[in-house]
Copies of this chain bind each other. A is one copy, B any other.
Amino acid sequence: MNSFRKVISIKTDKKEEIINITGRVREILSKSEIKEGLLLVYSMHTSSGVYISDSDTSLNDDLTDLLSDLIPEGKGYKHNLTDYKKNAPGHLKVILSSHHVVVPVTEGRMDLGTYQTIYYSEFDGMREKEVLVKIMGE
């Protein structure tokens, strides 16, 4: 069994932003030389996540709009009374959407469906954040 680990650094321009990281994950898999196995794409944070969805980026706004509707700012969150960053909605948005994904690896490639795209979802950005890619296999 082999394993391979690589960190992707991301700094968004806005507090909330969704970024396609499929190409960067693909490069890491290629470097790993692992042909068969499982690939974990894991946000090192609690205010950003990773999910798989459609390649059309207009959907990114639909997701951030939806999450802001379901988890509005300024709703008396207890976390915001104890934490100076007052980012309860950011944390809750990650729990409701997705924090990490596991992708199958076959013949050296991710088994992504035609439109499947790996996204990094940032809800507390404008600073250096990290996504860990860990691959296990042979």
Contacts and interface: CB of A to CB of B under 8 A. Distances in A.
A43 to B, nearest CB: 8
Contact of A58 (B59, B78, B111, B136): B78
A116 to B, nearest CB: 6
Given A1-B137, A79-B58, A100 B99 contact: no
Interface residues of A, number: 59
A44 B116 CA distance: 8
B78 A3 contact: no
Nearest to A104: B134
Contacts of A62: 77-79, 88, 91-92
Interface of A: 1, 3, 5, 36-38, 40, 42-47, 51-54, 56, 58-59, 61-63, 66, 70-71, 77-79, 81-83, 88, 91-92, 94-104, 106, 111-113, 115-117, 130, 132, 134, 136-138
Q: A-B pairs with the 6 shortest C-beta distances?
A: A44-B113, A104-B134, A58-B78, A3-B36, A59-B79, A46-B54
